[in-house]
Amino acid sequence: MSSKTVEYSVQTTTRKVFWENPYLVELETRVTGVAANEVTLESTIFYALSGGQESDSGVIGQHSVLQARKEDHQIFYQLPEDHGLNVGDTVKVSIDWARRYKLMRLHFSAEIVLEIVMAKFPAIQKIGAHIAEDKARIDFFWSENLSPVLAEITAEAMRVVHSDIRIVSDYSDKDLERRYWEIPGFARVPCGGTHLRQTSEIGEISLKRDNVGKGKERIVIRVDERTPPEPS
């Protein structure tokens, strides 16, 4: 058995630098596994769809990432078939920062809106959420039309934005890779997504209500267009 095979079999996780610093857009790392057109990395800044937040887009060693998927603690990146990468190769990973930053702004808008909705309607039940680059949505089991309360929810969310509060993001269990975000006095929520540093970065939030079936309500969230800050 070659040392490469051993290395691949024991490497079941990747160091998730997108948690340590979600404002990093370039990273040099090593390939730890290759299986046909999928590769795994020693460390990564490239987020893979989970918790409703879509994957990043970007490149690994100049090859476009076609798909990123998370399985347990490992992330598999699908590259074009002629990628030619081998275990042990040093590669540069870079991500589309404009997309990531927009995803983070929409993601945190959704976090805040969800907390406000749940505080207002303790019996409401979240069905799911999805964060895309143009908009986010949260679906609920709820029999009443949410339209009449959207202005109030928006105003409350904008108070959190304008307060420019520091958002704490950290591990609740490092070995199990469980993460949370917290705004002391507002909420502490388990989440493995990438989070902004300050609430003011969200910008202007606008909400729209959709009915997605009997007994179901959807809140669609948009934020204003703005130039992302320099990655840091």
**Site for Zn ion, rule CB under 5 A:** 191, 193
Nearer to Zn ion, 44 or 53 (CB): 53
What is the closest distance, in whole angstroms, from the C-beta atom of residue 175 to Zn ion in the complex?
20
* Alpha-carbon gap, residue 37 to 6, rounded angstroms: 19
Reading the block at residue 184, the tokens are: 């002391």
Which residues sit opposite 15 in a β-bridge? 43
What is the closest distance, in whole angstroms, from the C-beta atom of residue 16 to Zn ion in the complex?
14
What is the closest distance, in whole angstroms, from the C-beta atom of residue 163 to Zn ion in the complex?
19
Nearer to Zn ion, 161 or 191 (CB): 191
* 3-state SS class at 127: strand
Q: Enumerate the H helices of the chain as residue ranges.
A: 3-10, 17-20, 97-120, 150-162
Nearer to Zn ion, 84 or 190 (CB): 190
Nearer to Zn ion, 22 or 193 (CB): 193
Given a contact cutoff of 8 angstroms between Cβ atoms, the answer to whether 126 and 217 are in contact is: no
Given a contact cutoff of 8 angstroms between Cβ atoms, the answer to whether 230 and 112 are in contact is: no
* DSSP state letters, 156-184: HHHHHHHTTPBPEEEEEETTTTEEEEEET
- CB closest to Zn ion, residue no: 191
Nearer to Zn ion, 92 or 188 (CB): 188
Based on the number of CB atoms within 10 Å of its own CB, is 54 exposed (0-12), middle (13-18) or buried (19 or more)?
Answer: buried
What is the closest distance, in whole angstroms, from the C-beta atom of residue 52 to Zn ion in the complex?
9
What is the closest distance, in whole angstroms, from the C-beta atom of residue 111 to Zn ion in the complex?
5
